[in-house]
Amino acid sequence: MKLHHISVVAVALLVWAAVTAATAQQQINSGQMATSLAGVSNTKLSLTGAQMRQAVLDNIRNYPGALPPRPLSFPQLENLAQFVVEVDFDFNSAVIRPSSYRTIGAIADALHNPILLGYGFLVIGRSAAASTMWA
């Protein structure tokens, strides 16, 4: 008997990539993450990561160096079970600061929880407007 993963339902993890000093790290623990993601309805998501990436690239191309008139939004994601955590990065860099290591570890613990077997996950990040890094 082996544990195995079957992706049937999409679940979103939103990672808020903060490039400024953290105000207060969320104290959400891995158990809370796992329960908040479990028990979602069998919603099929017709939006792929590649489409979202393309929408972000289009937005950057259409509004170079400026904020778009309205923020990019993906209403389909609102129906998914999700939680938001803050992860601090070095400015303009993909390097996560040690102050956020615990949050990343807690996500790893939640994703190892067997109650989430059978779910697929979508990790979405965003960075500050001043940064040239984007996800």
Q: Which stretch binds other proteins (CB under 8 A): 14-22, 53-61, 67-75, 89-97?
A: 89-97
Instruction: Report 3-42 residues binding other proteins (CB under 8 A).
Output: 3-4, 29-32, 34-35
Q: Which stretch binds other proteins (CB under 8 A): 17-25, 47-55, 73-81, 103-111?
A: 103-111
Q: Does 93 sit near other proteins (CB under 8 A)? A: yes
Question: Pick from 22, 47, 96, 124: which binds other proteins (CB under 8 A)?
Answer: 96
Q: Does 109 sit near other proteins (CB under 8 A)? A: yes
What's the half-sphere exposure (Cβ side, CA atoms, 13 Å) at 43?
Answer: 18
What are the strands, taking DSSP E only, across 1-135?
9-18, 82-88, 119-126
Which residues neighbour 10 within 8 Å (Cβ) at sequence distance 6 or greater?
Answer: 43, 44, 45, 80, 119, 120, 121, 122
Q: Identify the bridge partners of residue 11 per DSSP, sorted by sequence position.
A: 121
Question: Pick from 7, 51, 63, 105: which binds other proteins (CB under 8 A)?
Answer: 105
Beta pairing class for 119-126 and 9-18? parallel
Q: Does 1 sit near other proteins (CB under 8 A)? A: yes
Question: Pick from 48, 54, 62, 101: which binds other proteins (CB under 8 A)?
Answer: 101
**Would you say 119 and 49 are in contact if contact means Cβ atoms under 8 Å apart?**
no
133 C-beta neighbours (distance < 10 Å), count: 15
**Which residues contribute to the site for other proteins (CB under 8 A)?**
1-4, 29-32, 34-35, 90, 93-96, 98-99, 101-106, 108-109, 112-115, 117-118
